[in-house]
Amino acid sequence: MATGSMKEQIRNVLFTQGAPASTDATVLEQYKLCVEMVDKISERRQHANTFFLGINTALCALVGYIYSKDAGPQLRPLVWSVPLAGACLSYFWYRLVRSYRDLNGAKFEVIQTIEEKLPLSPYRAEWVALGEGKDPKRYLPFTHMEIWVPRCFIVMYVGLFFFLVCAARNPAVDSDNKLPTPSSAKTP
């Protein structure tokens, strides 16, 4: 929720010609457009989550395939690229989730400011009904859970990297000689 000075800045930018004298059709149409844009941002956010989850799932499947009986040993050096690529992709995903959270938050601030000039304030009333996000037992924003998915993938990729390093240095970890050594990772 915006502070008092932020709320005033939003009002000044939003109502460039002063506050409307009454609820006219123009204000209502702009309100509808703002609400529609929030829905479109949420759709884009869901598509981005699906994309990144799919890529991470494919990287995990690639590691499994590389160590399957069907894959040749020439593919094993590829496993060193998976932790780097996966961690980078997951970090970008994390930043994108945060960006969408901030964007939606700003859009809801604008919507609630417009609602001050309308006879009803459904989004503001909903936010109040949810305790304004202050009690996680009452309402836990989706972003608070969503942000952990890319973080978990980052931790998994860092763990995979350290496992590969340990396995390359300690033959007891890789008793089947399936893991590549750092020297074999350099030669295709």
**Residue 102 CB neighbours (<10 A):** 11
Within a domain: 120: yes
Q: Which amino acid is at 111?
A: I
Q: How many domains does the chain have?
A: 1
CA nearest neighbour of 80 among 164, 173, 5, 169:
164
Within a domain: 184: no
Within a domain: 116: yes
CA nearest neighbour of 159 among 50, 69, 86:
86
Within a domain: 7: no
Within a domain: 186: no
Q: What percent of the chain has pLDDT over 90?
A: 39
Domain ranges, residue 137: 25-176
| 21-30, 51-60, 176-185: range with lowest mean pLDDT | 176-185
Within a domain: 72: yes
DSSP state letter for 122: H
Residue-wise pLDDT for 40-84, tens only, equals 999 999 999 999 999 999 999 998 888 777 877 787 788 889 999
Which alpha helices (DSSP H) does the chain contain, by range? 4-14, 25-66, 81-115, 122-129, 142-146, 148-169, 182-186
Within a domain: 67: yes
Within a domain: 86: yes
